[in-house]
Amino acid sequence: MRININQIKDMKQRGEKIAMLTAYDYVTAQVVDRAGVPLILVGDSLGMVLLGYESTLPVTMEVMLHHTSAVSRGAKNAIVIGDMPFMSYQVNAEKAMENAARFMQEAGAQAVKLEGGVTVAATVRRIVDSGIPVMGHIGMTPQSTYQLGGFKAQGKTLQAAKRLLDDAVALEQAGAFAVVLETMPAELSAFISKRINVPTIGIGAGAGCDGQVQVISDMLGLFTDFVPKHAKQFAHIAEVMSSAVSQYAAEVKSGAFPTPKESISLDPAVLADLEKAV
Ligand code: KIV
C-alpha cells in the first residue's frame, strides 16, 4: 500500500530519518520504489542532469508532466512528488492551483513541491486547502539562481539565517507537509529542523535534517559534468556504461557480437526452399 504524508510526518516524531531520491523515468522509479525509498521527487533538476540545460529554468509544465507520468507508472509504494517548474506557480495562486492539479490529475502524482518561503506561503495555503499536499523548498533554490548569483550556499549571516527560519515557519504554517533545505550550513538546518514540526529534508544541509534528498544521477555517478560538494557517489554508473558501450562497439567491429545465442535460426528446410525459389 502507498505511504502517505501522515506517515512521513510521524517518522520525524519517531526520530526516524527519511530518504528521498529523484527519479525521472519509469525504470528508475521502479528501482527506487522497490528499494523502499518513501519519497520520490520528479525534480526539475532533470533539466540539467537529463536534458543538458545549464539551469532548471527552461523546464516546462509539459516536460514535467511527461516525466512525472512515467515515474508514477513505476512507483507503487512511494509518494511521487511533482516539482513545479519555473513560472508555473509564481504568477498567481489560481495558476499555481491549476498547475498543481495537473500534476495530480494528468501525471498521477500524490504531492507537489515548489520553491520559496514567506513569498509563496499564501499560494502554498491555497494549494493545500484544495487538497493537494505541498512540499516546500528553501535555501539555495535553483529557480532563483540568477537572483542568488549562482548555486551558492545560503543563510551564512545572521540576517540570512533568520530569513530562512522565517521561511520555514511560514511554510509549516501554510500547511506544507515537509520542507527541503538546500545548501546551507549544517548548524542552521539543524536549528530550523528543531524549530518546525514538519520534516526537513536536506540536500547539502548536513546531518541535522530529518531526512536527506539526492539527485539520483549524482549519487549513482551517472551525471559527471559537475559533481556537487554534497553529493556522495554510491556507484560509478557512467564508468560502467562507458566500458559496456566501448565493449559493444568493439565486438560489433570485430564480429564477436552477435553470436548464435543472440540470433534467431531459420528452419533449414525453409532456407533450402528459399534458395530454390530465387
Ligand atoms: O529538482 C530537484 O531535484 C530538487 C532537489 C534537488 C531537491 O529540487
Instruction: Give residue 130's pLDDT.
Output: 97
Residues 135 and 273 in one domain: no
Please tell me the distance between residue 258's alpha carbon and the centre of ligand 1 in angstroms.
41
| pLDDT range class, residue 227, cuts 50, 70, 90 | confident
Instruction: Give residue 83's pLDDT.
Output: 98
pLDDT cut 70: percent of the chain above it = 100
18 three-class SS? strand
pLDDT at 264 over 90: yes
Residues 184 and 75 in one domain: yes
CATH value at residue 195 = 3.20.20.60
Mean pLDDT of 194-208: 98
Q: Indicate which atom in ligand 1 lies nearest the CA of residue 180.
A: 7
Instruction: Give residue 164's pLDDT.
Output: 98
pLDDT at 195 over 90: yes
Residues 223 and 114 in one domain: yes
Residues 67 and 93 in one domain: yes
Is 275 considered catalytic here? no
Instruction: Give residue 202's pLDDT.
Output: 98
pLDDT at 259 over 90: yes
* 55 Cβ neighbours under 8 A, 6+ residues apart: 47, 48, 142, 145, 146
88 three-class SS? coil
Residues 73 and 117 in one domain: yes
- Pocket, ligand 1, Cβ cutoff 6 A: 22, 41, 43-45, 83, 137, 180, 203, 213, 215
Instruction: Give residue 159's pLDDT.
Output: 98
Please tell me the distance between residue 43's alpha carbon and the centre of ligand 1 in angstroms.
5
Q: Indicate which atom in ligand 1 lies nearest the CA of residue 41.
A: 3
Which of 54, 115, 172, 182 is the catalytic position?
182
Instruction: Give residue 180's pLDDT.
Output: 98
Cell digits of residue 64: 514535467
Atom 1 (ligand 1) nearest CA: 43
Using alpha carbons only, what angle is made at residue 211 by residues 192 and 207, rounded to the nearest 5 degrees? 65
Taking only the tens place, the pLDDT of each residue in 163-173 is: 999 999 999 99
Instruction: Give residue 226's pLDDT.
Output: 84
Please tell me the distance between residue 262's alpha carbon and the centre of ligand 1 in angstroms.
41
Residues 63 and 169 in one domain: yes
Residues 157 and 63 in one domain: yes
Instruction: Give residue 141's pLDDT.
Output: 97
Mutate to test the pocket of ligand 1, among 213, 218, 223 (most ligand atoms within 8 A of CB): 213
Mean pLDDT of 114-143: 98
Instruction: Supply the mean pLDDT for the chain.
Output: 97
Atom 4 (ligand 1) nearest CA: 43
* 153 Cβ neighbours under 8 A, 6+ residues apart: 140, 183, 184, 185, 204
Residues 244 and 231 in one domain: no
Residues 79 and 172 in one domain: yes
The total number of structural domains that make up the chain: 2
Q: State how far the alpha carbon of 270 is from the alpha carbons of 232, 259, 263, 264, 274, in Å.
A: 57, 21, 17, 14, 6
Instruction: Give residue 78's pLDDT.
Output: 98
Please tell me the distance between residue 260's alpha carbon and the centre of ligand 1 in angstroms.
46
Single pTM value for the model: 0.96
Residues 176 and 58 in one domain: yes
Q: Identity (one letter) of the amino acid at 240?
A: V
Residues 47 and 178 in one domain: yes
Instruction: Give residue 143's pLDDT.
Output: 97
> What is the domain range of residue 271?
240-277
Residues 99 and 145 in one domain: yes
Q: Indicate which atom in ligand 1 lies nearest the CA of residue 214.
A: 6
Using alpha carbons, select from 79, 44, 76, 41 the residue that is nearest to residue 62. Answer: 44
